[in-house]
Amino acid sequence: MSIRVLIADDQTIVRTGLTMLLNTQPDIEVVGAAADGREAVRLAHQLRPDVGLFDIRMPLMDGIEATRRLAGPGVADPLPIVVITTFDLDEYVHGALKAGARGFLLKDAGPALLTQAIHAAADGDALIAPSVTVRLLAAFAHAQTATPRQPLEPLTAREEEVLVPVAQGRTNNEIAGELFITPSTVKAHVASLMRKLGARNRVEVAMWAHETGRI
């Protein structure tokens, strides 16, 4: 089955280009395109896509607010959203991730990384552009003054092994290849890490790893 994607960008040429690019993928189908955040929220409720691909700077409602309404804390059935922008600014990254985004890419990321991010979001993973991952998490860890929270239960040795590549931005398939285990086993370990750490997503797991000096 195809991953159904909703695109939101205020530039017609970008919407058209992304639609054409993604529709060439055998397992991705663009089901809608919005010119602003308000329309994106309306279409998301109407079309029920599998993944949203949202720009940040849009009229009427920006991509961060649209993400918060569709994927933020308290949303019963959050839509996996990948934020894609030309602006590589920390405030945007933080804002997007706090709003519930599953991924953050720059528009120059290229087709391979873009499709990988959509697949990751659909699978429950989070993918952040490698160019911003290290700086974002390092800055977050540096700014953190409170004592990192303790896990609800001690992490197993295998969970500690999985934790490091998760914090480095690896996908489940990449981690499975590195540790010689199946992707479904990785997914189970990540789910256990999220439960033990009280994390909503992989990004929060990665932040905890940086807070505690594991990276």
The answer to whether residues 108 and 174 belong to one domain is no
The answer to whether residues 96 and 196 belong to one domain is no
Number of domains in the chain: 2
- CATH code of residue 100: 3.40.50.2300
Range of the domain at 112: 3-140
For residue 135, is pLDDT > 80? no
The answer to whether residues 77 and 125 belong to one domain is yes
The answer to whether residues 152 and 202 belong to one domain is yes
The pLDDT of residue 113 is: 82
Encode pLDDT of 59-83 as tens digits. 999 999 999 999 987 888 889 999 8
- CATH code of residue 179: 1.10.10.10
Count CA atoms closer than 13 A to 134's CA, side-chain side: 3
The answer to whether residues 24 and 104 belong to one domain is yes
Encode pLDDT of 156-172 as tens digits. 999 999 999 888 777 78
Weakest-pLDDT range from 44-58, 124-138, 184-198: 124-138
Average pLDDT on 134-140 reads 58
The pLDDT of residue 32 is: 95
Number of H helices, E strands in the chain: 10, 6
Handedness of CA 128, 124, 23, 30 (dihedral sign): negative
The answer to whether residues 102 and 152 belong to one domain is no
Question: Which is more confident, 212 or 89?
Answer: 212
The pLDDT of residue 204 is: 77
The pLDDT of residue 7 is: 96
The pLDDT of residue 98 is: 77
The pLDDT of residue 54 is: 94
21-49 residues labelled b (16+ CB within 10 A) or e (exposed)? ebeebeebbbbbbbbbbbbbbebbeeeeb
Domain boundary among 90, 106, 140: 140
Percent of the chain clearing pLDDT 90 (strictly above): 40
The answer to whether residues 34 and 87 belong to one domain is yes
The whole model's pTM is what?
Answer: 0.71
Encode pLDDT of 45-58 as tens digits. 999 999 999 998 89
Domain boundary among 140, 169, 196: 140
What's the whole-number average pLDDT of the chain?
84
Weakest-pLDDT range from 15-19, 144-148, 157-161, 164-168: 144-148
